[in-house]
Structure 1
Amino acid sequence: MTADLAPQDPATATALPARFYVDTGMANVDRDAIFARGWQLVAHVSQLRGVGDHAVVDLAGLPVIAVRGGDEQVRVLHNVCRHRAGPIAQCDGLAAKSLRCRYHGWTYTLDGQLRSAPEMQGAAGFDVADVRLPQLAVRIWQGLVFAAFDEATAPDFDAFVAGIDARLGADRGLAQYGGHHRVAYEIACNWKVYVDNFLEGYHVPFVHPGLNRLLDYRSYRTELSRWHSLQWSPLESDDGLYGSGDALYYWLWPNTMLNILPGRLQTNRVVPLGVDRCQVVFDTYYAPDDSPEGRARRGADIQFSDGVQHEDIGICEDVQRGMASGSYVPGRLNPLRETGVHHFHELLRAAYRGPAADAATGQAGGAVDVRA
């Protein structure tokens, strides 16, 4: 185990062993060592424009609700009633006046304070003023709402997103988008298999023939930062889809993806459901355009994205079966095309070694040009 978690040089690196993807105990390890100590994407501000607007999200097993309060602040609260663990909300919604548990009707204000509890008058010493929904740390950046279980153990948020603002520039800011569309896929693979797959374009010519025709594989580049990575490629498509420009694929530790193409932002949240299952939630937002051509482009984008995703689902489920087969031993990573995977695995190794190891991997960063 100690050897498996030692830092590796990119030129000689191997992937993580299969047990990190298949051993049943890894689900709890990942929750405690990774998700409880990081920033996770919750929503886009376009979903929370008005007072009482709310979004329900699973943060690696912790149900939460993001809600805009009467003071205009966005809070992320535990979506677990303090009575007997019922859900405060079961779906996204607009303009709620309060938050009422669906189980026994305990009702909370939009900032999480218990306001009423039916028929509790006979409970000695019970006072609604003593009951409040726990609240997560929140940061809103580029119109995206991120939350952390404990800000003290999460990365410094400025370091977490360092450099992205400058790369996007004023014309590609993410807060401008709206027109929310969601689709979620349940996949029979460990969440890390899906992230591994996202972090390299090495498989694109073999798994995604349609996408490969739009991207310039020879110019495909990966750039690494401390807590995120960027894959970039020139993009060429007809005007009925994206037109021409470039494709930016950001990954932010541990499970957030931002797929930025001309005219749209797509976010992916990879939610672990067990050691061999995950859910990937695709939320897509579009630049304002209600013209017939704009609606047609949105429909074409949704259809194209769904096709690419089903290609990824197939290969990720095949990889999970290979991991569980007993045949696999860690293979060498391609130092030209899999630098993003190596970067992710180094962050995983540091997390598994423990918080004291973070400083030792603080040098993980810089930019890697992977043009062929």
Structure 2
Amino acid sequence: MTKLDHAFAEIESHDVDPDADFSLPGWIYTDEEFLTLEIERIFRPSWQIVCHVSEVAEPGQYQTLDYLGESVIVIRGEDGEVRAFTNVCRHRAMRLVEGPSGCTKKLVCPYHAWVYETDGRLTGVPMKGEYPTLKLEENGLAPVALEIWHGFIFVRLEDAGFPGVAEMMAPFEAEVAQYRFEDMRSMGPVRHRPRDVNWKNVGDNYSDNLHIPVAHDGLSRLVGKTYRIEAHGWADRLYGDVVKNEKQNFWEKVYGAYLPRVEHLPEAAHGRWLYYKLWPNMAFDIYADQIDFMQWLPISPTTCLLREVAYCLPDNRREMKAVRYANWRINRNVNAEDTWLISRVQQGMASKSYGTGPIATSEVCLRSFARKIRALIPEARQPFAPTAGWSRK
């Protein structure tokens, strides 16, 4: 068995984790060598969201995702199929397209004009006779694995055994299906928000239930004491139900008072703020009025990039427009509060005095995430950083 095979066996086992009562150590939130292993063992084999199928609805439409030093292009072919390729010409490694999106009949390299079809085939090479051993059929674009789940397109760079998106979210299929993700459309372009924190800090904060009543006054006023978290294998489920009280501010009251009936949703879903965190770095925030996805991609040991975009079903009712704006106002404050928190935590992680901290029994999502990290990279069990060069031994 390979190291990853052993790691997956440990993750899936029901054995007691001897480190379950302790957090991940602070040094792995600042260490270059640890990030290198995370990229190799966690990120390259993991699924990453790119866009919604409606954003590549017509032949030739494409969207790109740049991460981990790679650029991936998702494009709909003339045959109607959606495919993914590395955004790299097979001749001299030139990028074929620039920017987040576009539409083209053919992919033409801007360096030497090699031509690729939207299905990835190489069909045109200027001065082809000067390449006596070149076989067009063997030099198409390098494919990237792709999965479409409820209208959202995901890619991964390598196959190393992590479950697919549908498999991760299988326990919640009935709940998700009622929101009609496939019929949604984006409410605006993807927002990119750089953060001076390790990528794990974003995810830890997302799954942390104990900070809600302490640090999020507005969210606490909105959902009261209904907030709950659950760990389910490779995905976490979090939720709270909107309540009404006199302490709420103007926009919180607007949201609770004016949310109109959404006919395809059951009554319980109307007031529920539902969140799913997917391994290792993606989240869906689901409301009756819209959904948001957020993704946090590592840039360095102490920086990451948040990709965010909102989607909704077409609905021109004035009440729905008001509620969506209220939603934005409420969550803008929550995001600002979280940014302040994680930036201070990141600073604390750099302290040589901090090793590991205790994890409460109720912090089931943090426990689940830490178990996976320790299985995939066993050095994460060490409370303090090993000697430089440890990852090469």
- Which of 286, 289, 300 aligns to 2:315? It is 289
| 1:347 counterpart residue number | 372
Which amino acid letter does the alignment assign opposite residue 141 of structure 1? W
| 1:13 counterpart residue number | 21
Identity of aligned residues (%): 30
| 1:110 counterpart residue number | 118
In 2, Cα distance between equivalents of 1:20 and 1:156: 26
1:148 matches 2:156? yes
1:315 matches 2:323? no
Moved more, 253-262 or 117-126: 117-126
> How does 1:218-237 map onto structure 2 within 5 Å?
218-236=225-243, 237=252
Higher helix share: 2
TM-score, normalised to structure 2, is 0.80
1:245 matches 2:271? yes
In 1, Cα distance between equivalents of 2:195 and 2:282: 16
The 1:105/1:203 distance shift into structure 2, 3 A limit, reads farther
Which amino acid letter does the alignment assign opposite residue 48 of structure 2? Q
Cα pair 2:17 2:371 within 8 Å, conserved:
no
The 1:319/1:106 distance shift into structure 2, 3 A limit, reads farther
In 2, Cα distance between equivalents of 1:295 and 1:116: 49
1:51 matches 2:77? no
In structure 2, stretches of 5+ residues that fail to align are 1-9, 244-251, 260-269, 380-393
In 1, Cα distance between equivalents of 2:111 and 2:320: 42
1:92 matches 2:105? no
Q: CA deviation at 1:276?
A: 0.8
1:263 matches 2:271? no
Could you report, residue by residue, the CA deviation over 1:304-323 in whole angstroms, capped at 9, with x for unpaired residues? 43332232222212111111
Cα pair 1:47 1:180 within 8 Å, conserved:
no
The 1:32/1:307 distance shift into structure 2, 3 A limit, reads same
Cα pair 1:263 1:286 within 8 Å, conserved:
yes
> How does 1:113-262 map onto structure 2 within 5 Å?
113-119=121-127, 121-151=129-159, 153-170=161-178, 172-181=179-188, 182-216=190-224, 218-236=225-243, 237-239=252-254, 243=259, 245-262=271-288
In 2, Cα distance between equivalents of 1:118 and 1:295: 53
In 2, Cα distance between equivalents of 1:212 and 1:102: 53
Query: SS at 2:170's partner residue?
Result: coil
Could you report, residue by residue, the CA deviation over 1:42-97 in whole angstroms, capped at 9, with x for unpaired residues? 21112121111211112443210111111211111111222232222222334421
Moved more, 278-287 or 160-169: 160-169
Q: CA deviation at 1:192?
A: 0.6
TM-score, normalised to structure 1, is 0.85
Query: SS at 1:271's partner residue?
Result: strand
Q: CA deviation at 1:131?
A: 1.2
- Taking only aligned residues, the RMSD between alpha carbons, in angstroms, comes to 2.6
In structure 1, stretches of 5+ residues that fail to align are 355-372
The 1:150/1:290 distance shift into structure 2, 3 A limit, reads same
Structure with greater Cα Rg: 2
Moved more, 282-291 or 149-158: 149-158
The 1:180/1:96 distance shift into structure 2, 3 A limit, reads farther
Q: CA deviation at 1:247?
A: 0.9
Could you report, residue by residue, the CA deviation over 1:319-347 in whole angstroms, capped at 9, with x for unpaired residues? 111111212121101222x2111111111
Query: SS at 2:292's partner residue?
Result: strand
Could you report, residue by residue, the CA deviation over 1:11-51 in whole angstroms, capped at 9, with x for unpaired residues? 96110111211111122101111112222222111212111
| 2:48 counterpart residue number | 40
Moved more, 14-23 or 146-155: 146-155
Moved more, 239-248 or 74-83: 239-248
Cα pair 1:68 1:110 within 8 Å, conserved:
yes
The 1:311/1:331 distance shift into structure 2, 3 A limit, reads same
